Amino acid sequence: MHPFDAPLHYNFSDASKQGDAYDLRQIFDGSLVNEQPALAVTLVDNHDSQPLQSLESVVEGWFKPLAYALILLRQDGYPCVFMPDYYGAHYKDVGKDGQEYEIWLDSHQWLIDTFLQARRTYAYGDQYDYFDHPNTIGWTRLGDEAHPGGLAVVLSNGEAGRKFMEVGPANSTYVDATEHITEPVVTNEEGWAEFSCEAGSVSVWVPQQS
């Protein structure tokens, strides 16, 4: 049996509503993936939690790219992509007050596809976490023999952030697959570099292709 990680979803919902008042170091606190990573199906939203549904607990649109990076690019859990987050959605339904509302859900298809490609190509091997700031967190995956190069992820719920992290290969160039940041980064002799992200955003750094 593999249960849905509802506590993680509620953490995402709280984080999306609190903005930079939310301490991102606590994003996995109380979650199933934190306690039982081999059993957790991680998700951002589903048909019950979306607006006007029975367990409505909205994850605000600005935070969804951050949340999808947190479930798609880490080593633990079985991530699940919600179709309306991928394709978008438009519907009308009745709220708890008896009034009818019209709902529009934005598509995050391009970024989700970017995360999925990075997952397939680079998200292997050891994972190093850098959860040492309330508003900017990051992690790296070092890759393995069959999937060299690894990746680095930085996200912020406040101002633009940066993390000095170890990704593995020395003197190697990395680019932001999300295209939020255009300037490449080069690792030092020990395979470390300073990776950055924009305010309220996420960047996924992968090896530059020759």
135 and 188 within one domain? yes
What is the residue-averaged pLDDT of the chain?
95
Decide if 120 is inside a domain.
no
What mean pLDDT is predicted for residues 130-152?
97
148 and 70 within one domain? no
107 and 132 within one domain? no
Domain that holds residue 157: 125-207
In sequence order, the β-bridge partners of residue 197 are 161
Name which of 93-97, 131-135, 155-159 the model is least confident about. 93-97
Q: What is the CATH number of the domain that holds 30?
A: 3.20.20.80
pLDDT at position 47, please?
85
pLDDT at position 59, please?
94
Q: Per residue in 21-80, pLDDT tens? A: 999 999 999 999 999 999 999 999 988 888 767 677 899 999 999 999 999 999 999 999
pLDDT at position 142, please?
97
% of residues, the chain, pLDDT over 70? 99
Q: Which of 89, 114, 139 is the last residue of a domain?
A: 114
Q: Is the separation of the CB atoms in 69 and 153 below 8 Å?
A: yes
| Residue 21 backbone phi and psi in degrees, to 5 | -80, -15
Concatenated DSSP letters of the chain: ---B-HHHHHHHHHHHHHGGGS-GGGTTTT-HHHH-TTT-B-BS--TTTSTTSTT-----GGGHHHHHHHHHSSSSS--B--HHHHH-EEEEEE-TTS-EEEEEE---HHHHHHHHHHHHHH--S-EEEE--SSSEEEEEE---SSSTT-EEEEEESSS-EEEEEE-S-TT-EEEETTSS--S-EE--TTSEEEEEE-TT-EEEEEEPP-
Number of domains within the chain: 2
Q: Is the separation of the CB atoms in 193 and 185 below 8 Å?
A: yes
Q: What is the CATH number of the domain that holds 138?
A: 2.60.40.1180
26 and 91 within one domain? yes
What mean pLDDT is predicted for residues 136-156?
97
pTM of the predicted protein model:
0.95
Decide if 1 is inside a domain.
no
pLDDT value at 86 more than 70: yes
Q: Per residue in 155-180, pLDDT tens? A: 999 999 999 999 999 999 999 999 99
85 and 28 within one domain? yes
Q: Which of 114, 149, 184 is the last residue of a domain?
A: 114
- The rounded distance, in Å, linking the Cα atoms of 102 and 105 is 10
pLDDT value at 210 more than 80: no
Decide if 12 is inside a domain.
yes
